[in-house]
């Protein structure tokens, strides 16, 4: 490959990296999306991450690509060198699509964390899970709202009674 080919690959890599970084930034509401994604992955306990296929591989790839991006941003003469390959660009595109489809490691982890075992698990296969419906259990917040509504209703009745008594 000549210098122009390297330059083209490097620019395409950088564009795909920025696209993925923007998606991560938007998804997590942070400025440095891929760095945040990496940090989040690093903070997941191994007993959880070990249950997700290719967790460590994806983490290492993201770290590798962040390092390549940093080389482009902070080192000189990097665009004319062979720093990345077409396979790196394909990986970034695939990871981007996985994120859009919620098939990335953190999305899978989130889904796994929200699964619970059925109460009567003896009648169900051991690896079968179900998701608790949102309206299955009242949250403490919904109880507070009910209390506030009752208090407001009582105040309105008292004020109405006082108004009728004065009039």
- Within this chain, do residues 117 and 142 fall inside the same structural domain, yes or no? no
- Within this chain, do residues 80 and 149 fall inside the same structural domain, yes or no? no
45: tokens are 């306990």
- Within this chain, do residues 9 and 47 fall inside the same structural domain, yes or no? yes
> What's the pLDDT at 121?
42
The Cα 124–Cα 17 span in angstroms is: 44
In a domain, 127, yes or no: no
> What's the pLDDT at 83?
87
- Within this chain, do residues 86 and 151 fall inside the same structural domain, yes or no? no
The Cα 16–Cα 61 span in angstroms is: 14
The 10s digit of each residue's pLDDT in 88-120 is: 999 999 999 999 999 999 999 999 998 755 454
Q: Are 25 and 8 in contact (CB under 8 A)?
A: no
The 10s digit of each residue's pLDDT in 8-28 is: 899 999 999 999 999 999 999
The 10s digit of each residue's pLDDT in 112-150 is: 998 755 454 444 344 444 444 444 454 556 667 778 888
Task: List 130's β-bridge partners, or say none.
Answer: 116
- Within this chain, do residues 153 and 74 fall inside the same structural domain, yes or no? no
> What's the pLDDT at 131?
45
Q: Count up the domains in the chain and report the number.
A: 2
In a domain, 65, yes or no: yes
- Within this chain, do residues 79 and 109 fall inside the same structural domain, yes or no? yes
- Within this chain, do residues 99 and 142 fall inside the same structural domain, yes or no? no
- Within this chain, do residues 36 and 64 fall inside the same structural domain, yes or no? yes
- Within this chain, do residues 15 and 73 fall inside the same structural domain, yes or no? yes
The domain in which residue 151 lies consists of: 137-167
């Amino acid at each position: 490959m000549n210098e122009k080919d390297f330059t083209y690959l490097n620019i395409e890599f950088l564009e795909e990296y920025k696209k993925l970084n923007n998606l991560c930034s938007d998804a997590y509401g942070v400025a440095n999306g891929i760095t945040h994604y990496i940090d989040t992955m690093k903070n997941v306990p191994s007993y959880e991450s070990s249950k997700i296929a290719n967790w460590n591989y994806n983490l290492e790839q993201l770290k590798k690509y962040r390092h390549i991006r940093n080389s482009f941003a902070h080192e000189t003469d990097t665009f004319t060198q062979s720093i990345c390959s077409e396979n790196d660009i394909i990986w970034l595109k695939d990871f981007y699509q996985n994120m859009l489809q919620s098939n990335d490691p953190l999305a899978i982890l989130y889904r796994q964390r929200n699964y619970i075992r059925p109460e009567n698990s003896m009648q169900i296969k051991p690896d079968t899970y179900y998701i608790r419906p949102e309206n299955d259990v009242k949250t403490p917040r919904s109880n507070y709202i009910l209390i506030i509504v009752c208090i407001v209703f009582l105040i309105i009745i008292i004020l109405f009674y006082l108004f009728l008594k004065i009039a």
